[in-house]
Structure 1
Amino acid sequence: MNSSIILASERDPLSKRPDKSSSNRLSSSPPDELNHIPLLKILSSADRQRVLQDLTEQHYTKRDVIFREGDPTEYFHIVKEGTVKCVKSSPEGKECTLKMLMPGDLFCCDAAAFEGALHPGTAQPMGDVSILRMNKKSYFDMLRRNPEAAIEVIKHLGNRLNEAQEKAKVLALDRADQRLASLLVELATKNGAKDPQGIKLPMRLTRQDMANMVGTTTETAIRIMSRFKRDRLVSGTATRLIIRDLAGLKALASA
């Protein structure tokens, strides 16, 4: 599994707000462009071409919001490039990060979307991002035509449930430094890139982001990260964070 949140009383539905992002259809793009997306790479070349007719690519910056908590679930989204965080806010404006989404990740593929309910959280870009989106009818039509894709969605939902259960356990039982070590291990393992000094995380990650993701204060996250740097577990800044000792972080996370 942080940009201010507009509270429920201040929100307008997504369909009533002007879309400030840029977009384009993918109908002219080659089907192989979708091969890196786990859910879509299992489709035949012919069906991928058909799916391209229904996909729209949206471009957002860090100042944008993809959708807000309480908006109607009109589309399924796939991260093509960049990083997106899904957050939930309290009436006082406090924020909790539910999940960070990387290229290939699907979101809005949960019970809320299938039941026609409202978005349970807000999706915010953590920089420049490209999002592929498809309206629900087209998405369900694709699943009906492709049982293997439907099974992939079921696996995705099962993984999301397991992640939520694990996060609940970690928040309840682990110390703040263990939680932060676990977060860094997860990000490095899933999305890290090799670097001469270790493993580079591909997103901008502030101390506030980290605090919101592991359920602690920003001040505590700052103290822990300072200690991690002294112990040579990590190095760098929010824009270029390097994991220098992955084994050491794993040991701390499981201590």
Structure 2
Amino acid sequence: MIMLTSVKILPKFMELGADDYLTKPFDDLELLKAIEIRLKKAELVQAQYGNDAAGAGAFLKDLSDKGIMQLDPVQYESEPFHKKAIIYAESRRPKYLYYIKSGKVKAFRVHENGKEYITNLYQPGDYMGHIPLIEGTNYEESAMVLEDAEIVMIPKDDFLNAIYNDLGIAAKFIALISKDVKEKESRLLNLAYDSLRKRVAKGLVDIHTRFAGNDKSLSISREDIAQYVGTATESLIRTLSDFKSEKLIEIKDGRIIITDIRKLSSLAY
């Protein structure tokens, strides 16, 4: 909906659901341009984008390609981060929306006893740090690079201006938040009620889906896997040994290779 209004009453119309506006006076070209942009936005909103980071990325790229809004990560320079580098730390104020161009990243929290629990794993195409930006809160977790990465840092103001001024962009990131919440709730239930064997199977399937290389190997440490499934490293190693004897996995040069993903998935689900 495009509202034709004066500056004084603009806030009221935006509260009533206006997506765009023109302030008086305006000419025919401005009106036609506004209509063209709204039609392009409607076309994009109706398109099928996944409710995940890849879907959000594709949506933002299309917005940029159509000249509607510049929040496509390719418009920003990427920064190199080496393995074990901290991208952001718990309790710090957020300054950027992060987009992973290459590499692997883990988000984690540290318990008062010093033990880490991995809350999420990120791969190329994923966004990080959007929740505290939207909520206006400090980080509740830290993020560390697992494998040398290139990360695009989109300034906080650019991101917030985009979601506050475009319902389509806001909807995509709301969908991302909803997906994150559902995944974390599911993992908490698994942690509370599933056996260690089932948790490890689920963890391996999940990590395989995100991180498996061309040779189907998982380049992630035993310690990180243990922190992801919520167990001690020693307990994880014993379970991996069982899986190896059952020919569900192989271990070569320290890397885990899943040899029977279907059977492992049946254990997990």
Q: TM-score, normalised by structure 2?
A: 0.72
Indicate the SS of the match to 1:83: strand
Change (3 A) 1:238 1:56: farther
1:80 aligns with 2:97: no
2:119 to 98, 101, 114: 98
Unaligned runs of 5+ in 1: 1-35
* Equivalent AA in structure 2 for residue 205 of structure 1: I
Shift, 1:109, TM fit: 1.4
Aligned match of 1:70: 91
Larger fraction in helix: 2
Assess, with a 3 A threshold, how the Cα gap between structure 1 residues 227 and 153 changes in structure 2: closer, same or farther. same
Structure 1 residues 189 and 90: CA distance shift in structure 2, 3 A: closer
Residue 159 (structure 2) pairs with residue 142 (structure 1)? no
1:42-74: CA deviations, max 9, x gaps?
Answer: 233135756468633111111311111111111
**How far 1:231 sits from its partner (Å)?**
1.3
Q: Deviations over 1:86-115 (max 9, x none)?
A: 0111233211111111111111111x3223
Q: Could you say if the C-alpha distance between residues 53 and 128 of structure 1 is closer, same or farther in structure 2, counting changes exceeding 3 Å?
A: closer
Asked if 2 retains the 8 angstrom alpha-carbon contact of 1:38 and 1:104, the reply is no
Contact 1:77–1:108 under 8 Å retained in 2: yes
The TM-score with structure 1 as length reference comes to 0.76
- 1:210 positional shift: 1.1
> CA 1:100–1:58 in structure 2 vs 1: closer, same or farther (change >3 Å)?
same
Take 1:53 and 1:214, find their aligned partners in 2: how far apart are those partners? 34
Pairwise CA RMSD of aligned residues?
2.2
Structure 2 residue aligned with 1:32: none
Q: Is the 8 A contact 2:73 2:154 kept in 1?
A: no
Residue matched to 1:159: 179
Match of 1:209 in 2: 224
| Residues 153-181 of structure 1 deviation map (CA, whole Å, 9 limit, x = unaligned) | 11101101100110111001101110010
Match of 2:265 in 1: 250
Note if 1:192 corresponds to 2:207.
Answer: no
Change (3 A) 1:109 1:50: closer
Deviations 1:195-254 (A, max 9, x none): 4xxx333xx211111111111111000101111111111113576432110111112113
Please say if 1:222 is aligned against 2:237: yes
Percent identical pairs in the alignment equals 26
Query: Contact (CA 8 Å) 1:193, 1:200: kept in 2 or not?
Result: yes
- What's the offset of the Cα at 1:126? 0.3
Looking at CA atoms only, which structure, 1 or 2, has the larger radius of gyration?
Answer: 2
Q: Distance in 1 between matches of 2:157 and 2:118?
A: 29
Distance 2:149 2:98 in 1: 12
